[in-house]
A and B are shown apart, each in its own frame.
Chain A
Amino acid sequence: MAVHRVARTEDIPENTHLIVEVDNRSIGVYNVKGQYYAIHNRCPHQGAELCKGTRCGTTLDSEVYQFIYGRDQEIVRCPWHGWEFDIKTGRSLFNEKIRTRSYPVLVEDGFIGIVLAH
Chain B
Amino acid sequence: MTEAQEKLTIIDCDVHPQLRSGADLLPYLDEPWRSQAARAGLPGAGLPYASPIGNKRKDADPPSGLPVGSDPAYMLEHYVLPFQVEYALLCSDSIIGVSGFADADYAAAVCKAYNDYQIAEWLPRSDRFKGYLCVATQDPYQAAAEIDRVGPHPDIVGVSVTGGSRMPYGQRFFHPIYEACQRHGLPLVIHPGAEGGGIFNPPTAAGYVSNYLQWHTCLPQTFMAHLVSFVCEGVFEKYPGFRVVLCEGGVAWLPPLLWRLDKNFKALRASTPWLKRMPSEYVRDHCFLTTQPIEEPDQPRHLDAMFEMFDAENMLLFSSDYPHWDFDDPTRILTRLSPEKKRKVFRDNARQLFGLV
Contacts and interface: CB of A to CB of B under 8 A. Distances in A.
B32 interface: no
Contacts of B267: 81-84
B233 A64 contact: yes
Contact of B273 (A67, A82, A83, A95): A67
A65 B270 contact: no
Contacts of B271: 59
B31 to A, nearest CB: 40
B268 A82 contact: yes
B244 to A, nearest CB: 16
Given A81-B266, A81-B267, A59 B172 contact: no
Contacts of A31: none
Contact of A84 (B238, B269, B274, B276): B269
A55 B73 CA distance: 69
A93 interface: yes
What interface size band does chain B fall in? Answer: 10 to 19
A64 B274 contact: yes
A62 B273 contact: yes
B270 A64 contact: no
A62 B274 contact: yes
Nearest to B273: A59
B237 interface: yes
Interface in A75-98: 81-84, 92-95
B142 to A, nearest CB: 23
A84 B234 contact: no
A102 interface: no
A72 to B, nearest CB: 13
A26 B271 CA distance: 31
Interface string B260-300: 00000111111101101010000000000000000000000
Given A65-B172, A65-B234, A94-B278, A60 B266 contact: no
Contacts of A67: 273
Nearest to B274: A64
A71 to B, nearest CB: 11
Interface residues of A, number: 20
Contacts of A95: 266, 278
Contacts of B237: 64
B267 to A, nearest CB: 4
Interface in A32-66: 45, 58-66
B88 to A, nearest CB: 36
A95 B233 CA distance: 20
User: Which one of B266, B268, B278 has the greatest number of beta carbons of chain A within 10 Å?
Assistant: B266
B242 to A, nearest CB: 12
Given A61-B274, A64-B274, A84-B270, 11 more contacts: A45-B266, A58-B270, A62-B274, A64-B233, A65-B234, A67-B273, A81-B266, A92-B266, A93-B269, A93-B270, A94-B269
Q: Which 9 A-B pairs have the closest CB atoms?
A: A64-B234, A59-B273, A82-B267, A64-B274, A59-B270, A64-B238, A62-B273, A94-B266, A58-B270
23 contacts: A45-B266, A58-B270, A59-B271, A61-B274, A62-B273, A62-B274, A63-B274, A64-B233, A64-B234, A64-B238, A64-B274, A66-B273, A66-B274, A68-B273, A81-B267, A82-B267, A82-B268, A84-B267, A84-B269, A92-B266, A94-B266, A94-B269, A95-B266
